[in-house]
Each structure stands twice: as C-alpha cells, then as structure tokens.
Structure 1
Amino acid sequence: MTGYVMFRKDRLGRRGGGVILYIKESIQAYEIKLEKEAECEEAVWCNIVTGNSTLTVGLVYRSPNISMEKNKKIHNAIKKVSKRDCIIMGDFNHGLYSGHLYRVPGERIKEFLNLVQDSFLSQNVLEATRGENVLDIVLSSQKEFVDNVKICEPLGWDHSQIHFIIKVKG
C-alpha cells in the first residue's frame, strides 16, 4: 500500500495465512524479534517511536486448533511485551460473547483471562466481531492508548473490521 511500511509474517508449511501490519511511512517504526520461548509463528511485533518513548505494537493470529506449545509461546510473548507500553491486537479465537461472557469457560480461556489480568492489560473491543462472538481483540497496557473503537463491516472475510485511534504522547 502506497504510503505505508509493511511488516508481515507468513504462515509456514502451507499456502495462505499469516499476519500483516501496515504503518504509515511518516511514523518511525521498526520490527522487533522476541526471544525463542516467545517467538510465535503467526505474530509480528514492531516498535513505534513517539518522541522520547516507544510503543510496542503486536499483531497476533491464534488458531482455534492451536497446540499447547504454540499457545504457551503466545502467552510468553504477551507477558514479555506487556512489561512496556504496548498495544496487542489480533484474532485470538477465544469465543468471547459480547458483554465479556464466555460460552464455555474452558481452561485455555481461563488461562488467557488470567494472563490479561496479571499483565495489567485492558481489553478494548466490547462488541462482537464475528457473529455473536468477540474473536478479535485489542489489548493495551494503558486504557488511554486506545480511543474511539468502532466495529465496521467485514472487508472480504467473515470478521468485522476494528477501527480505533492510538493515542500516545509525542
């Protein structure tokens, strides 16, 4: 896309899939790699420089059929990144109902909720993004980093778009 820098991580071993993040050219951003125990197959991490500070932005895809090992790596990545100013977004496939009630509060969902709480992250998407479920979420280390969240019509797939403003001091 003209005027944007692309950061991507393609799905390995099969056709299609992966994650892609576009950041405006006018914003100073660079990709970062996490340690091996936190390196996720379908996640990309960038630092955005905002004046005298840095905001880490991550985009994650968590398959509904994820293995325990890969799920643990996503959790390790969130633990690592949440120690700094951050926004973590993506399709987490946990099946959260609108209003924050889960259909089946399984063990993985409980672990994820505990991770978000223990990492002092705010979940900023409060409306359904696919059917009745909130599968796509935006987590932030500070609630005020994310403003004006809007759920919009799908754009070529079955998940709604999430539009929001990132607000940080420059």
Structure 2
Amino acid sequence: MCACLQGYDLISVTEMWWDGSYDGSLGMEGYGLFRKDRQGRQGGGGVALYVNDQLECMELHLGTDEEQTKSLWVRIKGSTGTGDIIVGVCYRPPDQEDQVDKAFYRQIGATSCSQALVLMGDFNHPNIYWRDNSAGHKQSRRFLECVHNFLLQVIEEPTRRGAMLDLVLNSKKGLVGNVKLKGSLGCSDHEMVQFKILRAVRRVHSKLTTLGFRRADFGLFRDLVS
C-alpha cells in the first residue's frame, strides 16, 4: 500500500530475516526484487531492494567478499549524459566481526569510483557523534574513517529509540535531498527513511497497459476488507 500511495522508485528493506520459504510471497507488482537472505539460524537479518520495473538496472558482484557481508549493490542506468547510479543496501549486526567489517569496507572502496553512489541501511553504530565526527568504539572509529574517505552522511535525527542506527550515505554533495523520517511501519521499532536521489535515471519504454493503482480509493478498499 505504501508503494502504491507514494509511488517509490526504490524500496530497501534491512534485517528482514527472509529465506527460501518466503519466495512465493515477496513479489510486488510493478517492481523487480534483489535480495540477500540471512545465512543460517545465527546469520542475522538479510537485505532486499525493490526497483521500479521502469528503471534499467542490474545487480553488481564485487568478488569473494560478498558471502561474508549482508549487503547488495545494484547499478541503475542513468539518462543520457548523467552517468549511472550505484545503490547499495546494508545490514550490519551489532556483533559483526572485524574481518566482515573489513570486507564491507573493501566493497565501499570498489563502488566509490562511481560518481553517483547511494548507500543506505542499518549500520548499528550508535556511538558515532556525526556532528563532530567522533566515535567512542574502535569499530565505529574504523567505519567513520572509511566513510570520510569516500562518502557523505545525510541523516540528522535518531532512527531508533534515540540512536542513529539507520544511515544514508552518498558520494557527492547534492546527490541526495529531501530526507524525512516517516514513522515506523507495522511493529518495527525503526523509523522509515524517505529521500530523493536528485539525478535523472533512464526508464524503460513499455507499451504494456497497466492499472492506475494510485487513483484507487484505498479508504473504500480498507472498509470493504474490514
């Protein structure tokens, strides 16, 4: 319903704990789905990215480090003269090992050569003080150092119980704008983060006829269901 009402082009989900048993229920009309499920019972949450079917895109594979990290990367074709956009989605468990952190930093380094990189997700670094760029934990300081080498962080408000766990990072000032926290979805205790990528993307020209869901009477629909 959020996708229909808001018309989002990209929807990322982190810590979603999906596995193969959900395959038949994850599709969403009008969107392609990229996902990286949790691995094993103790594997923590996975990540997913829904992309509007009208956008040209492909998943990127960055090498052997991919199996360790809970992240995925998708290249979205830019319109003529603007270049492509790389979108990354990450979930970092609070107890993630140093070697997995380092593997993720190598992925950031590999994708940072793009002039347009947007990376979002739940990074679980609550002790980073973004206003003065300091951190009280060794792993958080390493993350902060990596980010400062490549990316800008645009979230300014807490996203979970007074902590800023969910971040949106980008490679160029002015690439991301209109950042808003939109409250929680369902029983989640994290805020939804909404933002715009201020760059044109190429859309696929389609001759298929589609239903105009955005003009539907969802109030009447809810009344009928209840």
Instruction: Output one character per residue of 1:35-89: Cα deviation in whole Å (capped at 9) or x when no partner.
Output: 2146543111100001141111000000100011111111111111112120011
Larger Rg, first or second structure (1 or 2): 2
Size of the aligned set, in residue pairs, is: 169
Q: CA deviation at 1:169?
A: 3.7
Amino acid at match of 1:2: E
Q: What's the TM-score, normalizing by structure 2?
A: 0.69
Q: Are residue 106 (structure 1) and residue 137 (structure 2) matched?
A: yes
In the TM superposition, 1:1-170 aligns within 5 A as: 1-14=28-41, 17-37=45-65, 40-52=68-80, 53-84=83-114, 85-96=116-127, 100=131, 105-119=136-150, 121-156=151-186, 157-170=188-201
Structure 1 residues 106 and 3: CA distance shift in structure 2, 3 A: same
Q: Normalized against structure 1, the TM-score is what?
A: 0.90
Q: Secondary structure at the match of 1:94?
A: coil
Alignment partner of 1:95: what SS? coil
> Secondary structure of the residue that 1:133 maps to in structure 2?
coil
Give the whole-Å Cα distance in 1 for the aligned partners of 2:128 and 2:98.
23
Is the contact made by 1:99 and 1:127 (CA closer than 8 Å) also made in structure 2?
A: no
Q: Which runs of 5+ in 2 are unaligned?
A: 1-27, 202-226
Structure that is richer in strand per residue: 1
Contact preservation (8 Å) 2:183, 2:192? yes
CA 1:99 to 1:32, structure 2 compared with 1: closer, same or farther past 3 Å?
A: closer
Question: Which 5+ residue runs of structure 1 have no aligned equivalent?
Answer: none
